[in-house]
Chain A
Amino acid sequence: MLAAPALALGAAADDVHPIPSMFDPVSPPAEMIRGLSFLVMGIAAGILVAVSGVLFWCVWRYRARPGDDREPPQVYGSDQIEWSWTIVPVLLVLVLFLATWRTIDEIEASEPPPGSLHVTIVGHQWWWEIRYPDLGVVTANELHLPVSADGARRPTYLTLESADVIHSFWIPQLAGKMDVVPNRTNRLWVEPRATGTFVGQCAEYCGTQHAKMLLRVTVHEPQDFERWAAAQRAPAASDASVAEGRAIFQSTACINCHALDGTVADGSFGPDLTHLMSRATIGAGAAANTPENLRAWIEDPHTFKPGVLMPAMKLDDQQIDSLTAFLVTLR
Chain B
Amino acid sequence: MTVLDEGIARPREDEARAGAWSKVHDWAVTVDHKKLGVMYVVSALGFFLIAGLEASLMRIQLAFPNNDFLPPTTFNRLFTMHGTTMVFLVGMPMFFGMANYLTPLMIGARDLAFPRLNSFGFWLFLFGGLLLYFSFLGGDGLYGAGTAPDVGWFAYSPLTGRAFSRGNSTDYWILGILVSGLGSTATALNIATTIVTMRCPGMTYLKMPLFVWLMLVNCILTLVILTPLTAAQVMLLFDRFLGAHFFDTQAGGSAVLWQHFFWFFGHPEVYVLILPAFAIANEVVPVFSRKPLFGYPFMVGATVMIGFISLSVWAHHMFVVGLSPAANTFFAASTMAIAVPTGIKIFNWLGTMWGGKIRFRMPMLWCTAFVFSFVIAGLTGVMLAVVPWDFQLSDSYFVVAHFHFVLIGGLLFNIFAAIYYWYPKVTGRMLSERLGRLHFWTFATGFYVTFLTMHFPGLLGMPRRIYTYDAGRGWDELNLISSLGVAVQAVGLLFFVWNLLWSLRNGEHAGDDPWDAWTLEWATTSPPPEYNFEQIPVVHSRRPLWDLKHPQDPDWKYE
The smallest beta-carbon distance between B295 and chain A, in angstroms, is: 4
Contact residues in B for A54 (Cβ distance below 8 Å):
350, 354
Q: Which residues of B contact A41 (CB under 8 A)?
A: 383
A73 to chain B, nearest CB (A): 7
Q: Does A318 contact B (CB under 8 A)?
A: no
Q: Give Cα A168 to B353, complex, Å.
A: 46
Residues of B within 8 A of A76 (CB): 292, 294-296, 558-559
- Greatest chain A CB density within 10 A among B73, B291, B380, B388 is at B388
Say how far A204's CB is from chain B's closest CB, in angstroms.
6
- Closest residue on chain B to residue A20 by CB atoms: B461
Determine the distance from Cα of A20 to Cα of B392 in the docked complex, in whole angstroms: 11
Which residues of the partner chain B approach A285 to less than 8 Å between Cβ atoms? 470
| B346 lies within 8 A of A177 (CB) | no
Q: Are A104 and B289 in contact (CB under 8 A)?
A: no
Interface string of B226-249 (1 = CB under 8 A from A): 000000000000000000000001
- Give the contacts of B308-340 with A (CB-CB under 8 A): 320-322, 325, 328-329, 332-333, 336-337, 339-340
Mark out the residues of chain A between 63 and 100 whose CB falls within 8 Å of any chain B CB in the assembled complex.
63-65, 68, 70-78, 81-82, 85-86, 89-90, 93, 96-97, 99-100
- Are B158 and A165 in contact, CB atoms less than 8 angstroms apart? yes
Q: Which of A47, A85, A125 contacts B344 (CB 8 A)?
A: A85
Q: Which residue of A lies closest to B343 (CB)?
A: A89
> What is the bound-complex CA distance between A103 and B390, given in angstroms?
12
Residues of A within 8 A of B350 (CB): 51, 54-55, 58
* Partner of B340 from A20, A48, A90 at Cβ < 8 Å: A90
- Asked if A74 meets B291 with Cβ closer than 8 Å, knowing A62-B355, A307-B73, the reply is yes
Q: Report the Cα distance A109→B385, complex, angstroms.
A: 19
Contact at B383–A44, with CB atoms within 8 Å? yes
The answer to the question of A182 belonging to the interface, with a C-beta cut-off of 8 Å to chain B, is yes
* Interface: A183 (CB within 8 A): yes
Q: Are A48 and B298 in contact (CB under 8 A)?
A: no
Are B255 and A183 touching (Cβ within 8 A)?
yes
- Which B residues are CB-close (under 8 A) to A209? 72
Q: Is B296's CB under 8 angstroms from A77's CB?
A: yes
> Any chain B CB within 8 A of the CB of A107?
yes
Closest to A61 in B: B354
B388: chain A residues at CB < 8 Å are: 29, 32-33, 36, 100, 103-104, 107, 176
B374-401 with Cβ < 8 A to chain A: 375-376, 379-380, 382-383, 385-392, 394-396
Mark B542-559 against chain A: 1 for CB-CB distance below 8 A, else 0. 000000000001010011
Report how far A89 CA is from B298 CA in the complex, Å.
15
Contact code string B353-372 (vs A, CB < 8 Å = 1, else 0):
11111111000000010011
**A residues 254-311 touching B (CB-CB < 8 Å):** 285, 306-307
Nearest B-chain residue to A78, judged by Cβ: B295
Q: Which of A33, A73, A181, A212 lies in contact with B391, CB distance below 8 A?
A: A33
Q: Does B472 contact A (CB under 8 A)?
A: yes
The answer to whether A200 has its CB under 8 Å from any CB of chain B is: yes
Chain A residues within an 8 Å CB radius of B464: 205
Query: When A19-B474, A40-B389, A54-B350 are in contact, do A108 and B394 touch as well, CB less than 8 Å?
Result: no
Give the complex CA separation of A55 and B356 in angstroms.
Answer: 13
- Could you say which residues of chain A place their CB within 8 Å of the CB of B356? 58, 62, 72
A87 to chain B, nearest CB (A): 9
Binary interface encoding of chain B residues 152-169 relative to chain A, with 1 for a CB under 8 A from any of its CBs, else 0? 100010110001100000
Residues of A within 8 A of B328 (CB): 104, 108
Q: Is residue B466 contacting chain A, with contact meaning CB distance below 8 A?
A: yes
Write out the residue numbers on chain B whose beta carbons fall within 8 Å of the beta carbon of A207. Answer: 76, 159, 164
A178 & B320 in contact (Cβ 8 Å cutoff): yes
Q: Which residues of B contact A77 (CB under 8 A)?
A: 294-298, 348, 351
Closest chain B residue to A37 by CB distance? B389
Using CB atoms, name the residue of chain A closest to B75: A211
> Does A241 interact with chain B (Cβ within 8 Å)?
no
Q: Within 8 Å CB of A179, what residues of B?
A: 320-322
CB distance from B291 to the nearest CB of A (A): 6
Contact A178:B391 (CB < 8 A) given known A89-B343, A306-B72? yes
Q: Decide yes or no whether B290 CB sits under 8 A from chain A.
A: yes
B254 contacts A by Cβ under 8 Å: yes
* B332→A104 contact, CB < 8 A: yes
Task: Please tell me which one of the listed residues B152, B256, B387, B470 contacts residue A100 in the complex, with CB atoms under 8 A apart.
Answer: B387
Chain B residues with CB under 8 Å of chain A are 71-73, 76, 150, 152, 156, 158-159, 163-164, 249-250, 252-256, 289-292, 294-298, 320-322, 325, 328-329, 332-333, 336-337, 339-340, 343-344, 346-348, 350-351, 353-360, 368, 371-372, 375-376, 379-380, 382-383, 385-392, 394-396, 459-461, 463-470, 472-474, 553, 555, 558-559
Which residues of A are in contact with B by a Cβ distance under 8 Å? 18-23, 29-30, 32-33, 36-37, 40-41, 44, 47-48, 51-52, 54-55, 58-59, 62-65, 68, 70-78, 81-82, 85-86, 89-90, 93, 96-97, 99-101, 103-105, 107-109, 125, 160, 164-166, 168, 170, 172, 175-179, 181-184, 186-187, 199-212, 285, 306-307
